[in-house]
Amino acid sequence: QVQLVESGGGSVQTGGSLRVSCAASGRAFNNLGMGWFRQAPGKEREFVAAISWTSGRTYYADSVKGRFTISRDNAKNTVYLQMNSLKPEDTAVYYCAADYRGLGSPASYDYAYWGQGTQLTVSS
């Protein structure tokens, strides 16, 4: 099994930046595709970004392209999401997810493991 722990959330003003992190344990980071999803109160979970094991492929939701960047440090078993130019509509709980196939994917059903989430609040 894989355990995922998100950190780095907080409160930011509109236009600000924040980086959230996800640390994996319980299994080697090797071959894990990683993704970020988010869920706002009363709304469905939505895809944000994903990255393959080799970092050769990345995927972004249209709503965050040009503002968010996903990256990973395999030596540290950690994936990051750098969020810039934040907007109130970015407010949500951000979840890290992992799949052992290693490809990364925008589809939530492709992910077998999930973290507990970290809260981001963007004020006007």
Name the residue among 50, 70, 63 with its Cα closest to residue 110. Answer: 50
Task: For 19-56, write each residue's pLDDT tens digit.
Answer: 999 999 876 667 889 999 999 999 999 999 999 987 77
User: Are 81 and 94 within 8 A, CB to CB?
Assistant: yes
The rounded percent of the chain whose pLDDT value lies above 90 is: 77
Q: CA quadruple 34, 61, 93, 45: dihedral positive or negative?
A: negative
Mean pLDDT of 101-106: 85
Task: For 83-99, write each residue's pLDDT tens digit.
Answer: 999 999 999 999 999 98
The pLDDT, as a whole number, for residue 103 is 81
The rounded percent of the chain whose pLDDT value lies above 70 is: 98
Residue with tokens 């355990």: 3
Most confident among 52-61, 68-77, 99-108 (mean pLDDT): 68-77
Name the residue among 82, 83, 99, 94 with its Cα closest to residue 34. Answer: 99
Question: How much is the mean pLDDT over the chain?
Answer: 93
Cα–Cα dist 66/93, whole Å:
21
